[in-house]
Chain A
Amino acid sequence: MAVKVPIHLTVNGSEMDVELAANMTLLDFLRDRLRLTGTKECCDLGECGACTVLVDGRSVNSCLALAVEADTSAITTIEGLARDGRLNVLQDAFLAAGAVQCGFCIPGHVMAAQHLLTKNPHPTMAEIREGLSGNLCRCGGYVQICEAVRAASAPR
């Protein structure tokens, strides 16, 4: 059995103390332990971006991070974006732009975009393409996804 390690972290605003196997990935912790299944598992190599979450505001492939590394951190997953049942600007923009098809890659795309807009509130289209280049989508042509991010970043 793997060594258990106690950690303290915040997930979507809830503080928690947990004891985890040292080899557990952040992705498995979120999905299997916390049942936050909005974060998706696809390539397990950090190539597809489906498992993207924010760790202290930084976008991270949770399949490549150990959960114990998140000790003292604040994690935001796709489940943590909507407030009181209301979609955030980016989530709404994804729907309005028609960026969502099967939806499997979408949580990762939204989280990557969230990180991008935090860093750079008004990115150019080239910057949007660069910022989302670590997230794969197979249903769409990325055009609407990029358009959604642009719309969400527009001054209002």
Chain B
Amino acid sequence: MTSKRRVGGAARVTGGQRFVADIGLDGMLHVKLVHLDCGRARIASIDSSEAAAACGVLRVVTAAELPQPMPRYGPVHDDRPVLAVGETRYHGQPVAAVVAESKDEAEEAAALVRVEYEELPGVFTVEAALDPASPLVQEPDLRPGDPLNKTNLLRELRFGWGDIEAATADLVVDNTYTFPMVTHFAIEPHAFMAAPKDAGVIVWTPTQNPFQMQRIIARVLGLPVAKVRVIAPDPGGAFGGKQHPKYEPLVAILALMTGRPVRLVLSLEETFQEVRRTSCRIHARTGFRSDGAITFQDIAGDFLIGAYADIAERVIAKSSYLACGPYRVPHARIVSRALLSHTTPSTAFRGFGTPQVSWAHESQLDEAARRLGIDRVEIRLHNIARRGEAFVPGDAPADGEWAVAVRKAAAAIGWGSPLGEGRGRGLAVAIKASATTGASYAIVRLHWDGSATVLAGTSDMGQGARTVLAQICADELGIPFESTHVVSGDTATVPFDLQTSASRSTVFMGQAVAHACQDIKAQLKEMAAGRDLKLAELLRARFGEVRGEVIGVGSMRSEHDPAHPLGGRPSFYEFTCTASEVEVDQETGEILLRKHVTVADVGKAINPQHVQMQDEGAAVMGLGHTLMEQLIVDEGGRIRNLGALDYRIPTTKDLPLEMVSLTVENADGPGPGGSKGAGEGGLMATAPAVAAAVTEATGVVIRDLPLTPERVWRAIQERRAGG
């Protein structure tokens, strides 16, 4: 396979790529949201008369103007209201929407909406969420029949095997780790547009999951699925933040109310208030034999999710299920709690909980290695599952040469070679369960001239899905890459796809496209009827002057298994090994990354350049949550660092001096050519690798992220003070 240039690349370097905010419709109205500057409030009254009378304003919509009872929605629980009713439950939850002829008029009128409200005490921390005296984040009737609905515990998940009580150990390592709230910060702020159409509605949204969006909007509006068309222009970065519905139901309702197209473009600050990664506190007790073998893992995770469930429960379930990492662990007990709070709903975010759990299990291994006097790479190689080993008993066994990946990363970072003054190295691994269930359908149309159109519902959010699907089609049909065209992002045009998530598209949609091509090839064989004809000759012979096309249909499905703790076996594991060398300035606490290595087991890289750009991108995103990123929530629940000025993500000046991205390829995945998914791994083990390097460089152990200069400096000072 080769690195074909990105499909859609030319439009992206010439300004021709149209994102949702770039698409204007005739007669389009503009929406501005009204929100309160506090974490939780009781809404006493909303006076929108002045705003409604302002220049250019068509409507000011509050909960009272929406259908009753208030429509609620979510990917799993229907708990999120279209607008706040009676109470706001997180900083930035909208209480009203102003619809005006221009964005300036909408913005000016939004400032005229008078909201009388009383700020209420809220739940903003793990401790508060666990305190029975704390207020309830959700009304009990939002989760009818749920025995936990009078608590802030959305769900407690328990996994495990062996007998933790009977487990023995020569060494028990017992620590607590925290991981902060971080935000996706896609460079494209969220944008939504809707227009009434033929007794239905068209919604434009940069979503990763157009078909889920279609289902949810249809339910909210009481329309048949066929009357809701979701057009998903390529997202300008998504990272999980654009998977599930945000304000699509609102703009759809506003379009139907006004009978005109409406558009809502969020500011970056508002986008921060809509999506984030779940923060957590993980307590890990890990038993080791003196030779470094893990004897047990006893893990308790408290995940602070937001005011609405979104997909948080699934994030916590999938990551906690593999909270012991890719290791053989004879006895395991994993208890994870999803705790509701008066904060931004946490959602899917690249790695889907894995960076949080790997932060704990990898740091535990490092401490054990230090205390037992074992090399930190050796302790991993000692415990890591070998191919075919059921490291979670009864589940899909290890599907790669993971030890090879570890050795490759160790070699690339120069493990064991002499270190300069003030320097240290770290190495960590992580594993993520890929898609467990799901379905992708594809249609391939082989045209009479031998070119092909692929209809595939995968959203191309930067990962290059269209390029890879075009390569798979060209390869299967034996036609030039340049003769293919991939259509996506429109529920009225392309067949069903569950979602663009979990690094599943190369495997699921890739196979669906391959199967559709194989369907075409079977038809061509029948058409040839034994004649030895080239494709062009065969098509000319079959279609003649009337012309026509050969239509192939393909799919890949993985059915739900109610007996499995996750509803189905992972179709593959995404495995990563990260190694880092740092230099720490003992006087300032600043960390200089001298070299950073990632190794991804991708089965087979269909487009090696795309794999590298995804992997390096993930690595730098991981450096963000490791070194600098965190949303700071004050005692009133306000996010204090909204926006690009106060919330820093890595720039070119934060890069490691050297970055290396490597792959392990054994064609052992379930996708075309033996491929596996890729693109999340690069950030899954960043934090423990860098933190271990900092420990080697300074002697201090830090168990809270991010590793800001202040935090590192304080730790060094405390160590010096303590002798």
Contacts and interface: CB of A to CB of B under 8 A. Distances in A.
B2 to A, nearest CB: 12
A153 interface: no
Given A42-B188, A106-B12, A95 B6 contact: yes
A129 B653 contact: yes
Contacts of B621: 138
Given A37-B22, A142-B652, A144-B613, A100 B12 contact: yes
B620 interface: yes
Contacts of A145: 652
A95 B9 contact: yes
Contact of B462 (A45, A47, A103, A135): A103
Contacts of A77: 15
A95 B620 contact: no
A36 B15 contact: yes
A82 interface: yes
B659 to A, nearest CB: 6
A40 B14 contact: no
A119 B109 CA distance: 44
B189 interface: yes
Contacts of B619: 141
Contacts of B238: 102
A125 to B, nearest CB: 10
B609 interface: yes
A143 B187 contact: no
B21 interface: yes
Contacts of A82: 14
A107 B12 CA distance: 7
A46 B696 CA distance: 38
Contact of A136 (B22, B265, B612, B651): B651
A102 B188 contact: yes
A87 B13 contact: yes
Contacts of B186: 102, 104, 138
Contact of A104 (B5, B8, B24, B188): B188
Interface stretch (B432-440, B583-591, B642-650): B642-650
Contact of A102 (B3, B22, B184, B234): B234
B613 A140 contact: yes
B393 to A, nearest CB: 37
Nearest to B611: A98
A41 B21 contact: yes
Contacts of B234: 102-103
B101 to A, nearest CB: 13
B92 interface: no
B683 to A, nearest CB: 11
A45 B13 contact: no
B239 interface: yes
Contact of A94 (B13, B15, B16, B237): B13
Given A43-B268, A45-B645, A48-B644, A98 B3 contact: yes
A40 B16 CA distance: 11
Contacts of A44: 267-268
A128 B651 CA distance: 12
Interface in B314-358: none
B638 interface: no
B620 A141 contact: yes
B185 interface: yes
A86 B13 CA distance: 11
B159 interface: no
Contacts of B185: 136, 138
Contacts of B239: 138
B616 A140 contact: yes
Nearest to B6: A100
Contacts of A37: 15, 18, 21-22
Nearest to B271: A42
B653 A133 contact: yes
B189 A42 contact: yes
A135 B653 CA distance: 11
Interface string B639-672: 0000111000111110100010100000000000
Contacts of B189: 41-42
Interface string B222-237: 0000000000001111
Contact of A81 (B14, B265, B268, B653): B14
Given A42-B189, A78-B14, A140-B613, A133 B651 contact: yes
B411 interface: no
Interface string B549-572: 000000000000000000000000
Nearest to A82: B14
Q: Which of B18, B188, B645 has the most CB of A within 10 A?
A: B188
Contacts of B620: 140-142
A92 to B, nearest CB: 8
Nearest to B234: A102
A139 B462 contact: yes
A138 B271 CA distance: 15
A84 interface: no
Contacts of B655: 129, 141-143
Interface string B146-181: 000000000000000000000000000000000000
Nearest to B13: A91
A39 interface: yes
A79 B92 CA distance: 36
A110 interface: yes
B6 A91 contact: no
A101 B21 contact: no
B19 interface: yes
B235 A102 contact: yes
A72 to B, nearest CB: 24
B15 A101 contact: no
A67 interface: no
B644 A42 contact: yes
Q: Which of B8, B22, B619 has the most CB of A within 10 A?
A: B22
Contact of A101 (B11, B14, B103, B613): B613
Nearest to A137: B187
Contact of A141 (B13, B237, B659): B659
B467 to A, nearest CB: 10
A38 B268 contact: no
Interface in B577-620: 609-610, 612-614, 616-617, 619-620
Given A37-B22, A129-B653, A138-B187, 19 more contacts: A36-B15, A39-B15, A43-B643, A48-B268, A79-B14, A81-B14, A94-B13, A95-B9, A98-B613, A101-B6, A101-B464, A102-B237, A104-B188, A104-B237, A135-B651, A136-B187, A140-B620, A141-B661, A142-B620
Interface of B: 3, 5-6, 8-19, 21-22, 24, 103, 184-189, 234-239, 265, 267-268, 461-464, 609-610, 612-614, 616-617, 619-621, 643-645, 649-653, 655, 659, 661
19 contacts: A37-B18, A43-B645, A44-B267, A48-B268, A79-B14, A91-B14, A95-B6, A98-B6, A98-B609, A98-B610, A101-B237, A107-B15, A133-B652, A136-B187, A136-B651, A138-B237, A141-B619, A141-B620, A145-B652
Closest 5 A/B residue pairs (Cβ): A38-B15, A104-B236, A103-B12, A141-B616, A102-B462
